[in-house]
Amino acid sequence: MDNTYNELTITIPPQMVEFVADYVSNIFHDGIEMGSDNIIIRSEKDISYIKDGVEALLHQLDDNMKFSFQEEIKKNEDWIGVYQDSVEPVVVGSFYVKPSWYEDREDKLNIQIDPALAFGSGHHPTTFSCLEFIEKYIKAGDKVLDVGCGSGVLGLACAKLGADVDLCDTDPISVESTIENFELNKSSYNDIWEGSVYKRKSQYDMVIANIIADVLKLISKDIVKATKDNGIMILSGILDKKEELVLKSFKDYELIDRKLKGEWVTLVYKK
C-alpha cells in the first residue's frame, strides 16, 4: 500500500449525484463515496481521466449546469472500508439488491452487487424504475437484451425472473463487471459483448436501455429493430427536460407506461 492516495471531489447539483456516481462506477472500480451534493473518488492510481469523462458527460446533459472539481493528495487509509460501511441495500418490489456483507432475505429475489466492483445497485431513480417495470412486464422464458448493462443489475433481475438474457456495453470495464456480478450471483446469461445493440444477432421480447436521452435518440432505430413485434422496450436515464427528445424518436410506437421519479423519466413502449 502506498503512503498517499489521490482524491477527487466532484460537486454537482444534488439530483445528479447518483446518476454521475453510476457513470463513474462504469469506468472506475475502487471506492466511490456519495454526499448530498458531491462524489468523492479515491485511488492510489491516477484518476485524472475521471474528471475529463465527467466534465464531458455533464456538458452533454446541460451546458448551464454548475459543477466543480477538487483534486488532493492525502495520506492513505482504509477508504474502501469506510465507503462499504456507508452502503445500504435497497428493496424494489420482489428484488433485494445488496452488497456482499449483507445477508440474503428469504422473502426476496436477492441480487448481490459489490460496490467495490460497480455502483449500479438500484439506488438511482432510473435503475429503481427499470426494476419495477421489469417485474411488471417480463415473463419467464422471455428473450431479453440489456443495452448499456453497466453493473449488470437489470440483466440479473431478468435472469432471476426466468428470462434468457443477452447484455452489451460499449465500456469493456462494464462488460467485465457484469460477468463478475453474474458469477457472484450464480446466475447465467446467454451472450454478452463489448459494443452496442447493433451487434445483436437476434430479436428480443424485451429490450432495456438505461442510458441517457441523447444516446437513446442515436440508437433508437437499432433498439426498435432488436425488438420483436409486440415486444417491450424499457427506456430510461432520461432527464425530464430531455423527455421530448425520446418521445419524438419513438413516436411511431405505443407508449404503454411512464414513471417520473425525481427528475428522471422511464418510458415503456410496445412495438
Sign for the pseudo-dihedral over CA of 74, 80, 82, 87: positive
pLDDT in tens, 172-227: 888 988 999 999 999 999 999 999 999 999 999 999 999 889 899 999 999 999 99
Please report, for the chain, the start and end positions of each structural domain, with discontinuous segments joined by +: 4-85, 118-270
CA distance 223 to 205: 12
Q: How many whole angstroms from its chain centre is CA 82?
A: 23
Give the amino acid at 235. Answer: L
Q: How many CA atoms lie within 13 A of 39 on its CB side?
A: 25
241 Cα distance to chain centroid = 20
Q: Which CATH architecture has domain 4-85?
A: 2-Layer Sandwich (3.30)
Pairing of strands 143-147, 90-92: unpaired
List the chain pLDDT tens, one digit each, 271 residues: 567 888 899 999 988 887 888 788 777 766 677 778 888 888 878 888 888 888 888 888 887 889 999 998 887 666 566 666 667 788 999 999 998 888 999 999 999 987 643 344 456 788 899 999 999 999 999 999 999 998 899 999 999 999 999 999 988 888 988 999 999 999 999 999 999 999 999 999 999 999 889 899 999 999 999 999 999 999 998 988 899 999 999 999 999 999 998 888 999 999 9
List the grid coordinates of 159: 435472469
Q: What is the CATH number of domain 118-270?
A: 3.40.50.150
